[in-house]
Structure 1
Amino acid sequence: MSTVAGPAPHLGLGRRGERLAARHLQKLGFVVLSQNWRCREGELDIVATDGRTLVVCEVKTRAGQNFGDPAEAVTAEKIARIRRITGQWLRAFSLGWCPIRFDVISVLVGPTGPPRLKHFPGAF
């Protein structure tokens, strides 16, 4: 009998949160340019624009608040990494200087009710 393991449950939860966050941004009028863009150093969850500003969003999704609000998981080390990866994204797409904003979107998916999303523009 062969068993093939699927993706870890937390990865599915994270992808669900990223889809909800992307839809949220689109409802606000943003155009999503990249999702889950990867390079050797890491990944950017969402890169979007409002036509004037490039917005890099870190999405944190949790199934409960046992470890606090999901946004609290964005550490100084994570912020530094996101800033470095954003530079790589800009080079990969041959973009020069442009205004950039870094947002955090927190998604809390509880056992009942709809997911709760909090958007923190300019969080870092």
Structure 2
Amino acid sequence: MVAERSQRGSAVEAAAEQHLQQAGLQPRARNVRYRGGELDLVMDDAGTVVFVEVRYRARSDFGGGAASVDARKCRRLAHAAQLFLQDNPTLANAPCRFDVVDATGEPPQLRWLRDAFRLDDC
């Protein structure tokens, strides 16, 4: 079951990345792990560093995947983003934003939430 969930997560992340690329974003990194947080996708949108959280739910009864990005998850993403920028000093002064790709159903229907939250929200 864990392997199946991992495979589904990877497939949904790949679909989200492709969706964002079709919208003009360029990939920078995928599944960047730090102690205390992970960045699913890091993309470039015309010079803006975009940290993307991909959330999948089989059903939207409880608000879909985007509803699961709570304050705790927001803080973890913000921390991981700060570490990513420290590891990539050429991006340190670039504008940044946090997007969420909400995937629901089978096959997953993708919904891209640009600028889903800001560091001030965390």
- The reply to whether TM is greater than 0.5 is yes
Higher strand content, 1 or 2: 2
Q: Which consecutive segments of 4 or more residues in structure 1 shift more than 4 A?
A: none
Correspondent of 1:104 among 95, 100, 104: 100
Q: Could you say which residue in structure 1 is the equivalent of 2:111? A: 118
Supply the RMSD in Å over aligned alpha carbons: 1.5
Specify every segment of 5 or more residues in structure 1 that has no aligned partner in the other structure, as ranges: 1-5
Checking the alignment, whether the CA contact within 8 Å between 2:37 and 2:79 is kept in structure 1 is no
Checking the alignment, whether the CA contact within 8 Å between 1:13 and 1:62 is kept in structure 2 is no
Q: Could you say which residue in structure 2 is the equivalent of 1:29? A: 24
TM-score, normalised via structure 2 length? 0.87
**1:62 and 2:53 equivalent?**
no
TM-score, normalised via structure 1 length? 0.86
Specify every segment of 5 or more residues in structure 2 that has no aligned partner in the other structure, as ranges: 118-122
Larger Rg: 1
Q: CA deviation at 1:9?
A: 2.3
Higher helix content, 1 or 2: 2
Checking the alignment, whether the CA contact within 8 Å between 1:71 and 1:104 is kept in structure 2 is yes
**1:53 and 2:48 equivalent?**
yes
